[in-house]
Amino acid sequence: MVQRIVNGSYKMAKRVAIGVIGGTVLVLGVVMLVAPGPGIAGVAAGLAILAVEFTWARSWLKRLRRKMSDAGSALRGRNIDGHR
């Protein structure tokens, strides 16, 4: 009985800690989108931390990765100043 309570408390504390840390990094990343700093990297890092515990963050991270990959592909295929 006591083991079950301690185990449940540990899981809840871990979930809260990951939520607070990941949420803070995510918010700082969003702020850095408009302020100087690596905004996209901050958002990705925050989502990666949150994805450890939350499935919604995992799906958002996959979507962000897909969009960044598409943007990179579009830039690589673009003809800049007549060079290839």
The answer to whether position 83 is within a domain reads no
Measured CA to CA, the distance from residue 15 to residue 19 in angstroms comes to 6
Q: 34 lies in which domain range?
A: 2-76
> Which structure tokens are listed for 9?
């408390």
Residue pair 32/12 in contact (Cβ under 8 Å)? The answer is no
Identify whether the C-beta of residue 64 lies closer than 8 Å to the C-beta of residue 33.
no
Q: Is residue 84 part of a domain?
A: no
Distances (CA, A) of 30 to 24, 43, 46, 61: 10, 6, 10, 14
| Residue 6 included in any domain | yes
Q: Is residue 24 part of a domain?
A: yes
In a domain, 82, yes or no: no
Give the tens place of pLDDT for each residue, 6-63: 677 888 999 999 999 999 999 999 999 999 989 999 999 999 999 999 999 999 999 9
The structural domain count of the chain equals 1
pLDDT at 75: 80
